[in-house]
């Protein structure tokens, strides 16, 4: 087992905690809140709650209105009698924080973290230690249980955070569940985050992310203009789709072994507006009490806080419920860098393969679909929601959306060839907006699109890809103007391939000027048949003279 001593560094970190500037806490949008009596803080934000730790526990089931959810039951290890019996294993959940590759023999680990600010060269962060152990547990290779580590912490010299230091924690946390059929744990999903922090031994706002030598590590923001490159190794079973809190991402995936992939993501953090309010617990509605039971609670600002994560299934009704209570205005904003695995959005088997990474969808929306974009009627559809106004109540919250999709997956969806692909993005909602967008790039097997500049309420982002296609139909017989069965099959097959293209052009070709009229009649017959199959196009028939005898009497069909 690899080992590294951090005693001297950790001692220096702890000793400097009392001298660490507290401006991050002072500037925090929660810093002016002190909960009193039965007041609760209700949140939906990327302000990280108390929970950057590993955990092996029995998970209570969700509840409905008027019901009380049970408690989580912690397990000291897989052999803990409370958690090792067959009944308990049905609800067991493992959160296993990964650690740095230099201090572990585990194949799944963090390879490197690099950061820069203001366009500077990326600086590789130095591993300086880890948070204090909290619910750590040993792994069990025979049962495929990953070890639960403390969160690793890193330091930079030039790429600082808003608190004025170079402290960053890296949380990469797979979730594992017990599979009774296999008699082992299976890795279901993964979440990852880069967390800028400062040490503060005094009571402050928000929750402690973790502790270092007993000193609270509190959240702070990235500086504007920060760029991040994270490289890590995860099980190949964690493929399919990723969602993220980042802007302008690039992704690289390479197989590391039969079990592991090496993933590298480079991007900027994104600004996310937060929902927050103080509300008397006695004033909670039945639905709000149900949400609190299912979403849990944590200690913050002298009392209890609760809220919904941006990716939870109930995030859209949660936002709509509290929107009028906060005047559609954010309490504050956070610069965030996060990602997580997500399920397939459905609509096509092309989106369901988990043996490889198919794409990543990122947005700064307060709430978003937990699945990948859904393929419906030729569109990739994705739902987002957010508050309309920034904290000053005047400036608008401006939305961002990035979609990186594996080129092979995009072509699978639409039946495209390897020819270039174009795209449009439409944001549908109150006051529909067309966002000008093209394929930003197609490089190294990835198709990249982006939409910026839209405002929020509850909206749906629709991406439509298209590719020009031209086909020459089989020859008409003699002077016939009627399509043969073979020609009809050719048109039907073509229409399926170009369902996303708006234009359909039928061109009858002729050599002799006297054949122009029959060429035009044939072109019209083809377009009319195509229109009968799918009216969602514009159709245009024309006749053109050609000098090539091989094209005489044919109809060329173009779609774009």
pLDDT at 24 over 70: no
For residue 271, pLDDT beyond 90? yes
27, pLDDT greater than 80: no
**pLDDT at residue 458 is higher than 80:** no
Q: DSSP string of 328-382?
A: TB-SEEEEE-EEEEE----S-GGG---SSEEEEEEE--SEE-SSPPEEETTEEEE
Strand partners, 255: 261
CA dihedral defined by 143, 149, 151, 157, rounded to 10 degrees? -110
Summarize the confidence of residues 490-518 as an average pLDDT.
86
∠ CA 446-119-363, nearest 5°, is: 45
Identify the DSSP state of 468: -
Q: Residue 277 half-sphere exposure, CB side, CA atoms within 13 Å? A: 18
Confidence at 3, pLDDT banded by 50, 70, 90: very low
Q: How confident is the model at residue 416 (pLDDT cuts 50, 70, 90)?
A: low
Predicted confidence at residue 401, as pLDDT, reads 86
Q: Which band of pLDDT confidence, cut at 50, 70 and 90, is reported for residue 202?
A: low
Residues of the chain with CATH 3.30.1330.60: 470-559
Instruction: Please state the rounded mean pLDDT for residues 200-211.
Output: 72
Q: Which residue has the higher pLDDT, 51 or 208?
A: 208
Q: What is the pLDDT of residues 317-338, one digit of tens each?
A: 999 999 999 999 999 999 999 9
Contacts of 183 (CB under 8 A, 6+ apart): 143
| Residue 25 pLDDT | 38
pLDDT of 10 reads 43
pLDDT at 175: 93
Q: Which residue has the higher pLDDT, 247 or 347?
A: 247
Task: Identify whether the C-beta of residue 246 lies closer than 8 Å to the C-beta of residue 222.
Answer: no
For residue 372, the model assigns a pLDDT of: 72
Has residue 245 got a pLDDT over 80?
A: yes
More confident residue, 360 or 2: 360
Count of H-run helices and E-run strands, the chain: 9, 35
As a whole-number percent, the residues of the chain with pLDDT over 90 amount to: 50
Average pLDDT of the segment spanning 275-293: 95
pLDDT at 288: 96
Buried b (16+ CB within 10 A) or exposed e, 15-46: eebeebeeebbeebbbbebebeeebbbbbbbb
468: left (phi over 0), alpha (psi -120 to 50) or beta: beta
Which tens digits make up the pLDDT trace of 174-188?
999 999 899 999 998
pLDDT at 429: 67
Q: Which of the two residues, 374 and 398, has the higher pLDDT score?
A: 398
Position 15 scores a pLDDT of 40
**Do 20 and 286 meet the contact criterion of CB atoms below 8 Å apart?**
no
- Predicted TM-score (pTM) of this structure: 0.77
Mean pLDDT for the stretch of residues 160-169: 96
Whether 14 has a pLDDT exceeding 80, the answer reads: no
Would you state the pLDDT for residue 42? 95
For the chain, percent of residues with pLDDT exceeding 70: 88
What average pLDDT is seen over the chain? 85
Between residues 16 and 409, which one has the greater pLDDT? Answer: 409
**When comparing pLDDT for 450 and 95, which is higher?**
95
More confident position, 23 or 507: 507
CB proximity list for 5: less than 8 A, separation 6 or greater = none
Say yes or no to pLDDT of 11 above 60.
Answer: no
* pLDDT > 70? residue 124: yes
The reported pLDDT for the residue numbered 213 is: 93
Do 354 and 239 contact (CB within 8 A), yes or no? yes
Cβ–Cβ < 8 Å for 249, 8 = no
Spatial distance between the Cα atoms of 445 and 450, rounded to a whole number of angstroms = 17
Highest average pLDDT, of 155-164, 252-261, 341-350, comes from 155-164
Angle formed by the axes of helices 286-295 and 315-322, nearest 10°: 130
> What is the spatial distance between Cα 171 and Cα 302, in angstroms, rounded to a whole number?
26
Q: Which residues, in sequence order, are bridge partners of residue 251?
A: 265
Task: Report the pLDDT value the prediction gives residue 23, as an integer from 0 to 100.
Answer: 34
* Band of residue 40 on the pLDDT scale cut at 50, 70, 90: very high
Average pLDDT over residues 115-138: 96
Picking from 115-129, 187-201, 447-461, which range would have the lowest pLDDT averaged per residue? 447-461
Strand pairing category for 398-406 and 446-455: antiparallel
Q: Exposed, middle or buried, 306 (CB in 10 Å: 0-12/13-18/19+)?
A: buried
In the prediction, which pLDDT does 335 show?
92
pLDDT, position 345: 57
Backbone angles phi, psi at 429, to 5 degrees: 175, -155
pLDDT at 98: 97
Higher model confidence: residue 231 or residue 61? 231
23 contacts 161 by C-beta, under 8 angstroms: no
Tell me if 423 sits within 8 A of 414, measured CB to CB. no
* pLDDT, tens only, 85-107: 888 888 999 999 999 999 999 99
**What gap in Å lies between CA 506 and CA 542, rounded to an integer?**
6
DSSP per-residue codes, 125-145: PEEEEEPPPSS-B--BGGGTB
Q: Is the per-residue pLDDT at 280 higher than 50?
A: yes
Please name which of 486, 529, 485 lies closest in space to residue 506, comparing C-alpha atoms: 529
Cα–Cα distance, 399 to 271 (Å, whole number): 9
Indicate the CATH number of 470-559 among 3.30.110.70, 3.30.1330.60, 3.60.15.10, 1.10.540.10. 3.30.1330.60
Q: What is the pLDDT of residue 346?
A: 59
pLDDT of residue 49: 66
Longest distance between any two alpha carbons in the chain, whole Å: 96
Pick from 124-133, 211-220, 340-349 the range whose average pLDDT is largest: 124-133
Specify the higher pLDDT residue, 441 or 202.
441
pLDDT at site 424: 67
Return phi, psi of residue 537, to 5°: -145, 165
Give the Cα separation of 361 and 250 in Å (integer): 11
Q: Which residues contact 220 (CB under 8 A, 6 or more apart)?
A: 24, 28, 161, 162, 163, 196, 197, 198
- 462 contacts 378 by C-beta, under 8 angstroms: no
| pLDDT number for residue 285 | 96
């Amino acid at each position: 087992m690899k080992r590294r001593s951090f005693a001297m560094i950790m001692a220096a970190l702890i000793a400097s905690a009392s001298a660490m500037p507290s401006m991050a806490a002072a500037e925090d949008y929660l810093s002016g809140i002190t909960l009193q009596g039965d007041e609760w803080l209700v949140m939906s934000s990327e302000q990280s709650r108390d929970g950057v730790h590993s955990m092996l526990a029995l998970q209570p089931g969700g509840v409905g209105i008027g019901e009380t959810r049970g408690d989580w039951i912690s397990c000291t290890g897989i052999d803990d009698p409370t958690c090792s019996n067959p009944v308990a294993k049905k609800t067991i959940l493992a959160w296993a924080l990964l650690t740095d590759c230099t201090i572990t023999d585990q194949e799944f680990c963090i390879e490197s973290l690099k950061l820069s600010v203001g366009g500077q060269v990326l600086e590789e962060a130095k591993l300086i230690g880890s948070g204090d152990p909290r619910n750590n547990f040993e792994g069990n290779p025979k049962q495929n249980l990953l070890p639960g580590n403390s969160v690793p912490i890193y330091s930079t010299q030039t790429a600082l955070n808003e608190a004025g230091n170079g402290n960053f924690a890296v949380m990469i946390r797979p979730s594992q569940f017990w599979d009774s059929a296999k008699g082992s744990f299976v890795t279901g999903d993964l979440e990852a985050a880069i967390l800028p922090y400062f040490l503060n031994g005094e009571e402050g706002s928000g929750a402690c992310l973790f502790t270092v030598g007993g000193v609270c590590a509190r959240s702070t923001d990235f500086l504007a203009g920060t760029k991040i490159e994270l490289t890590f190794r995860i099980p190949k079973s964690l493929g399919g789709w990723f969602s993220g809190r980042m802007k302008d991402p690039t992704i690289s995936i390479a197989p590391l072994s039969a079990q592991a992939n090496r993933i590298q993501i480079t991007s900027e953090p994104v600004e996310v507006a937060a929902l927050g309010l103080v509300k008397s617990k006695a004033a909670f509605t039945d639905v709000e009490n149900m949400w609190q039971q299912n979403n849990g609670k944590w200690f913050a600002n002298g009392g209890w806080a609760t809220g919904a994560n941006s990716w939870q299934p109930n995030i859209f009704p949660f936002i709509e419920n509290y929107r009028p209570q906060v005047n559609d205005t954010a309490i504050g904003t956070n610069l965030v860098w996060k990602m997580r695995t997500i399920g397939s959005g459905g609509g096509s088997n092309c989106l369901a393969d988990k043996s490889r990474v198919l794409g990543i969808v990122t947005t700064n929306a307060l709430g978003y679909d937990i699945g990948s974009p859904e393929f419906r009627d030729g569109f990739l559809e994705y739902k987002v929601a957010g508050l309309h106004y920034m904290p000053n109540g005047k400036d608008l919250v401006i939305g961002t959306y990035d979609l990186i999709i594996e080129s092979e997956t995009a072509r699978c969806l639409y039946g495209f060839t390897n020819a270039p692909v174009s795209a449009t993005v439409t944001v549908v909602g109150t006051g529909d907006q067309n966002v000008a967008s093209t394929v930003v790039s197609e490089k190294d097997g990835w198709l990249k699109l982006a939409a910026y500049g839209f405002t929020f309420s509850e909206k749906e982002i629709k991406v439509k890809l298209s590719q020009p296609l031209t086909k020459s139909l089989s020859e008409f017989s003699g002077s016939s103007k009627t399509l043969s069965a073979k020609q009809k099959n050719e048109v039907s097959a073509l229409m399926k391939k170009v369902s996303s293209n708006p234009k359909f052009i039928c061109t009858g070709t002729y050599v002799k000027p006297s054949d122009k009229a029959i060429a035009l009649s044939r072109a019209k017959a083809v377009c009319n048949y195509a229109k009968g199959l799918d009216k969602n196009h514009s159709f245009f028939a024309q006749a053109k003279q050609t000098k090539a005898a091989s094209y005489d009497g044919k109809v060329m069909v173009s779609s774009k």
